[in-house]
Amino acid sequence: MIINGSEGSISFYFKGLLISSFPMTKKKTKEYYFSQGNTLIIDGMRNKYNVKKLIHIFTLYCNSIYIRKRDKKPIYASDHKLFMESITALMKLKIVENDSQNGYLIMPKKKISIHNV
């Protein structure tokens, strides 16, 4: 399900499957969502995990959410948030590229023009 905000939405994909969608507003921009991934990396390193271990953890989590979505099992809101943080962290670490199978898609709000006919 795609969730729209006042500025549109940002959707996250993994292995060609739409996993999560978040609203975009004036405050919740692309930079806001990607800063969540940066925070996850920093928190992991503060807890004494090296980058290789963090990559492994983030990838395992994305795979587990992908399997739940593929099998049409419920995914809780907190899991969607952690998935978004994990996928953006993997993109920041250049493990996942934003391409046709993985990454994100920004859909701006469509502006409706009203013409008197």
Q: What is the pLDDT of residues 61-91, one digit of tens each?
A: 999 999 999 999 999 999 999 999 999 999 9
**Is residue 82 in a domain?**
yes
User: With a threshold of 0.85, does the pTM exceed it?
Assistant: yes
**Is residue 58 in a domain?**
yes
* Cα 51 from chain centroid (whole Å): 20
**Is residue 103 in a domain?**
yes
pLDDT at site 3:
77
pLDDT at site 67:
97
pLDDT at site 38:
95
**Is residue 75 in a domain?**
yes
**Is residue 86 in a domain?**
yes
Residues with Cβ within 8 Å of residue 102, at least 6 apart in sequence: 13, 14, 15, 16, 87, 96
Q: Which domain holds residue 76?
A: 41-107
**Is residue 81 in a domain?**
yes
Number of H helices, E strands in the chain: 3, 3
- The full length of the chain comes to 117
Low-confidence ranges of the chain (pLDDT < 50): none
Query: What are the angstrom distances between the C-alpha of 52 and each of 39, 47, 49, 90, 91?
Result: 17, 14, 8, 11, 14
**Is residue 51 in a domain?**
yes
pLDDT at site 46:
94
Total of domains in the chain: 1
